[in-house]
Amino acid sequence: MPDNDLARVWLGDDTGGRRVEPAEAHVSVFDHGFTVADGVFETIKVIDGVPFALSRHLRRLSSSAQALGMPVPESSLLHKAVGEVTSGSAGVGRLRITLTGGAGPMGSDRGDARRTLVLVHVPAPAWPATTQAVVVPWRRNEHSALAGVKSTSYAENVIALDWAKQRGASEALFANCAGHLCEGTGSNVFIVRDGVVSTPTLASGCLGGITRELVIEWCDVIEEDLPMEALASADEVFITSSTRDVHPVSQIDGRQLPAPGPVSADIQRLFVKKAAEHPDP
Ligand SMILES: Cc1ncc(COP(=O)(O)O)c(C=O)c1O
């Protein structure tokens, strides 16, 4: 169970809000985020009070909101709220920004209430040095209206992650409907073959991960359609996310892999160095 007493919470709507005690942070039972998962979110790593890659995350929040046809809160409001929950925090934290459709009818149509905006900052436990992944039987739909959108409709990920955990893994990998490698429940995936690093294209339906974006900008990576068999023949595999950074995979579907392999280790080192140099790259 997360220790919610350590959470710093900001609660409001797209016109304003304030810090509240975690025990007093309540959202309406009519909120469309609650009734139909009509919302978008961001997860951002915070180091000693400084959110990493904040500009990129706020841009993605805005494009996710636009994809759902939701007005985007003013950038000045978002920056103010971020400052109020992160400033003065020590160590590594995880900041979640959630924007939902606000109070609405019980069905899928939206009401005209203000959008709910919630920010929560909690201490983030460190990931183990390596991780294990399994491929799940369910597919990502690259044709979905939510493909590439960081929406709060994550129940498919909840099911897949539970399936993976029952098999001793910490991440579940999806193929898409075309049978190509897509992404994990909360990560993007990279494979290394003969020293060449590849990752699925955005057309695979994966989220345009901020960590993925930075690894592509900072390292030599090919974006391509990858058949699922590519996983079985990969020399190295790593996954990326805002909390995992570059995370070497030591086992895929029971097959052992070097973790980190030499190429992943170089990318990991470079990522740490660049991220330390540029907190908002
Ligand atoms: C489905 C999915 N794919 C990929 C990622 C990685 O994205 P980022 O690097 O922006 O954290 C996430 C992050 O949680 C995710 O939920």
Measuring from atom 16 of ligand 1, which residue has the nearest CA?
186
pTM: 0.97
Q: Is the CB of 186 under 6 A from ligand 1?
A: yes
User: How far, in Å, from the CA of 267 to the mean position of ligand 1?
Assistant: 18
Q: For residue 242, give the ligand 1 atom closest to its CA.
A: 11
> What is the widest separation between alpha-carbon atoms in the chain?
55
How confident is the model at residue 152, as a pLDDT? 98
Amino acid at 43: T
Residues 114 and 148 in one domain: no
Interatomic CA distance for residues 199 and 77, integer angstroms: 35
CATH code for the domain in which residue 104 is found: 3.30.470.10
Residues 74 and 141 in one domain: no
Reply yes or no: is the peptide bond before residue 260 cis, omega within 30 of 0: yes
Residues 156 and 230 in one domain: yes
Residues 115 and 202 in one domain: no
Our mutation pick for probing the ligand 1 site, out of 55, 57, 97, 150, counting the most ligand atoms within 8 A of Cβ, is 150
Q: Is the CB of 240 under 6 A from ligand 1?
A: yes
Residues 152 and 255 in one domain: yes
Question: Quick one: which of 172, 189, 159, 182 has its CA closest to 132?
Answer: 172
Q: Evaluate the CA torsion angle 222, 228, 231, 233 in order and state its sign.
A: negative
Residues 164 and 190 in one domain: yes
**What's the DSSP call for residue 53?**
T
Distances (CA, A) of 180 to 91, 184, 215, 228, 230: 38, 13, 21, 6, 9
Q: Is the CB of 152 under 6 A from ligand 1?
A: no
Residues 248 and 137 in one domain: yes
- Give yes or no for a contact between 42 and 66, defined as CB atoms under 8 angstroms apart: no
Amino acid at 251: Q
Distances (CA, A) of 145 to 140, 177, 188: 12, 14, 19
Residues 136 and 273 in one domain: yes
Q: Is the CB of 43 under 6 A from ligand 1?
A: yes
Burial environment of residue 109 by CB neighbours within 10 A (0 to 12, 13 to 18, 19 or more): exposed
- Domain holding 28, by residue range, is 4-123
Our mutation pick for probing the ligand 1 site, out of 202, 207, 215, 271, counting the most ligand atoms within 8 A of Cβ, is 207
In the chain, how many domains are there?
Answer: 2
Tens-place pLDDT, residues 59-84: 999 999 999 999 999 999 999 999 99
How confident is the model at residue 1, as a pLDDT? 43
- Please list the pLDDT of the chain residue by residue as tens digits (281 residues): 455 778 999 999 999 999 999 999 999 999 999 999 999 999 999 999 999 999 999 999 999 999 999 999 999 999 999 999 999 999 999 999 999 999 999 999 998 899 999 999 999 999 999 999 999 999 999 999 999 999 999 999 999 999 999 999 999 999 999 999 999 999 999 999 999 999 999 999 999 999 999 999 999 999 999 999 999 999 999 999 999 999 999 999 999 999 999 999 999 999 999 999 999 99
User: How far, in Å, from the CA of 126 to the mean position of ligand 1?
Assistant: 17
Give the end of a domain, one of 123, 146, 177. 123
- Count of all residues that appear for the chain in the document: 281
